[in-house]
A and B are shown apart, each in its own frame.
Chain A
Amino acid sequence: MMQIGLPLETWSDDPPPEKIVGYISVESAKSVFKDEEHSLEGPLDAYYAPKDLRDTVRRDLEGTGFEILAESQLGLSVSAPPQAYEELTGGSVVTKERLQYAEENCIRYVTHVDIVGDKQPAALGVARTKSDSTKIDGVVLEKPRMFNAVFPSPVPPNTSKFHLRVPDDVAFLLHAKPAHQAGQRGKGVLVAMPDSGQYRHPFFTAHGYHLKTPITVVPGTSRSKDPVGHGSGESANIFAVAPECVLQAIRASNDSGDLVGAVAAFLKAKELNPRIITNSWGGDGPFPPAGSPDASDLAFAAEIKDAIAQNILVIFSAGNGQFSVEPQVPGVLAAGGVFVTPSGSLTASNYSSGYKSPWFDGVNVPTVSGLVGMLPRAQYLMLPIPPGCMIDKDESHPDLPDDPTTDGTTGNDGWALFSGTSAAAPQLAGAAAVLIGAKPNLTPPQVIQAMTTTAIDVVTGHCNPRFNSPAGVGPDLATGAGLINVAAALNFVQNNF
């Protein structure tokens, strides 16, 4: 295990769970917790605890916050909050990351709970009580145990609806494969993504993608949860194009999934000084607008411009019919949508927004496009999400009266078909990571120039009916410069910068 150069055990960023399941061994003639008895030699009867002693221990535990889950002749299976274990042992409940074999023969860090303190044994998850009068000779916290089958599956399910898979279909259609074959995979480029959260789906683990511990900005929310599934799923688009980049997810959702901390998450992203911030969200307002952007729009626009001035490439989704200030801010890479049909032809996505900015001279939205589905629901990319999250449920049901079909997956399988310009933004982020990985001194305008100069022109279709801009020869308001071509953009930066 140590041969891969990582420590076997490290402190964890995760807080202890609210309830910890453990095992309480009641005193008996022999004890496996005594140093000299680390074996099970001799008759097993010697480890059986007398019934009256077990009854006493059970009553004492129940009186101090423990719930008894089961009982045997040796001890009790219990559940209790961390404070109850600390009171019993005199130690502190902590979490640690242990490197071990996990799903699919993959070695990864797995979170364990431990009790530490002056009189506590070194063994992970094992503790002594602070007093002998408890008649307890040892406490064992449940270790994480792996199912022999992995759930959710790291492999997407089959469904009859036409769709694309990550990573291969997305990488192929955006011409990222030649860049990968040339050794350009965005290695080490930090991409920050404020969104709904990031769930460690086995898909990411199986592919060996580098996800930093997520950050949350909404007080009281868990950094390891994604109640919507949006951030988790859309982030797979980044890795499809840049499999060796580093993702810092920043959770901006509350426990209901509402995007309440978007600005705070963007400010946090800036603080981390990433090369790229990708944003698959925004607001909405009347189009054409009645007047200038409001004060709050301008305040946020100033923050976006400041990020760009700090050499951070800022990407915003153009919108799925929405009109919002973020993709219009000068210098932002605004991500639109192109649909690749089953026969392989390209057409503008009628799901994506496309317009000339009424607020900023010379700005058109989108700048360039990624892969996005079509109305009514843009169920186009099979993406990994937390099982049973909002998107998992929603996409597996009809959306009447607009769409009587489903995505063909179940509501609790950890996969769903969706896309939107939310998918295009992280695809562009992946493309940018490949370019920056190859040429670390690239500036945001240079990255945008490379993508727009080399994009594949899309000449058919219209964008969202709200704007109804047609695609045509050359740059247009339906897809911007067209569909990104990662290999051509890489060639461009290698020859020009």
Chain B
Amino acid sequence: MANDYIELFLKWAPGANQADVESWLKQHQLSSAKMIEGLLLSGTKAAIENAFSVSLDNLQPPAELPVPSELKPHVASITLPKPRSYYP
């Protein structure tokens, strides 16, 4: 995973059942960390493509990923952020 790690932002929908979402993420080999407005998701490229049925190669960040039907009641958006780099 050391060369294949990707971060995503998940924003909660109003009244989200957060435990259900975290359980779904775990089932799909994705890690999560709490943020102010949602979760920071991370995982391998393959795990993310599998979980959200997308090809990341076809996306130009920042890009919204499709929210799977199981998560739709709980999740407002899932976003692939712009890449960040050093400023030397």
Interface positions of A (Cβ within 8 A of B)? 195-196, 218-221, 228, 230, 233-234, 254-256, 258-264, 267, 280-285, 294-300, 302-303, 306, 317, 319-320, 322, 324, 378, 391, 418-423
Residue in contact with A303 in the complex, picked from B7, B36, B42, CB distance below 8 Å: B36
A and B contact pairs by CB, cutoff 8 A, 23 listed: A219-B1, A219-B2, A228-B86, A234-B88, A254-B5, A256-B3, A259-B83, A260-B7, A261-B7, A264-B7, A264-B40, A280-B86, A283-B82, A297-B81, A297-B82, A300-B81, A302-B37, A303-B35, A303-B36, A317-B87, A319-B87, A320-B88, A423-B88
Known: A219-B2, A261-B5. A299 touches B84 (CB 8 A): no
Q: For the complex, what is the distance from the CA of A320 to the CA of B64, rounded to whole Å? A: 28
Q: Are A260 and B6 in contact (CB under 8 A)?
A: yes
The residue on A at minimum CB distance from B34 is: A267
Number of CB contacts from chain A to chain B under 8 A: 118
Residue in contact with B36 in the complex, picked from A255, A295, A306, CB distance below 8 Å: A306
Q: Are A282 and B2 in contact (CB under 8 A)?
A: no
Q: Are A295 and B77 in contact (CB under 8 A)?
A: yes
CB distance from A297 to the nearest CB of B (A): 7
Instruction: Name B32-88 residues within 8 Å CB distance of A.
Output: 33, 35-38, 40, 42, 62, 64, 77, 79-88
Contacting residues, chain B, for A256 (C-beta < 8 A): 3
Q: Are A391 and B88 in contact (CB under 8 A)?
A: yes
For the complex of A and B, 4 pairs with smallest distance between CB atoms: A220-B2, A296-B81, A302-B36, A296-B79
Contacting residues, chain A, for B83 (C-beta < 8 A): 258-259, 283
Contacting residues, chain B, for A254 (C-beta < 8 A): 2-5
Contacting residues, chain B, for A196 (C-beta < 8 A): 86
Contacting residues, chain B, for A420 (C-beta < 8 A): 86-88
The residue on B at minimum CB distance from A234 is: B88
Q: For the complex, what is the distance from the CA of A418 to the CA of B64, rounded to whole Å? A: 36
Contacting residues, chain A, for B5 (C-beta < 8 A): 218-219, 254, 260-261
CB distance from B12 to the nearest CB of A (A): 11
Q: Are A299 and B3 in contact (CB under 8 A)?
A: no
Q: Are B88 and A322 in contact (CB under 8 A)?
A: no
Q: Are A264 and B42 in contact (CB under 8 A)?
A: yes
Instruction: Name B17-40 residues within 8 Å CB distance of A.
Output: 33, 35-38, 40
Contacting residues, chain B, for A233 (C-beta < 8 A): 88
Residue in contact with B85 in the complex, picked from A281, A296, A300, A423, CB distance below 8 Å: A281
Q: For the complex, what is the distance from the CA of A306 to the CA of B38, rounded to whole Å? A: 14
CB distance from A221 to the nearest CB of B (A): 5
Q: Are A296 and B9 in contact (CB under 8 A)?
A: yes
The residue on B at minimum CB distance from A316 is: B87
Q: Are B36 and A282 in contact (CB under 8 A)?
A: no
Q: Are A421 and B81 in contact (CB under 8 A)?
A: no
Other CB < 8 Å A-B pairs besides A262-B7, A281-B86, 13 of them? Answer: A219-B1, A254-B2, A263-B81, A267-B40, A281-B87, A283-B81, A299-B36, A299-B38, A300-B81, A378-B88, A391-B88, A420-B86, A422-B88
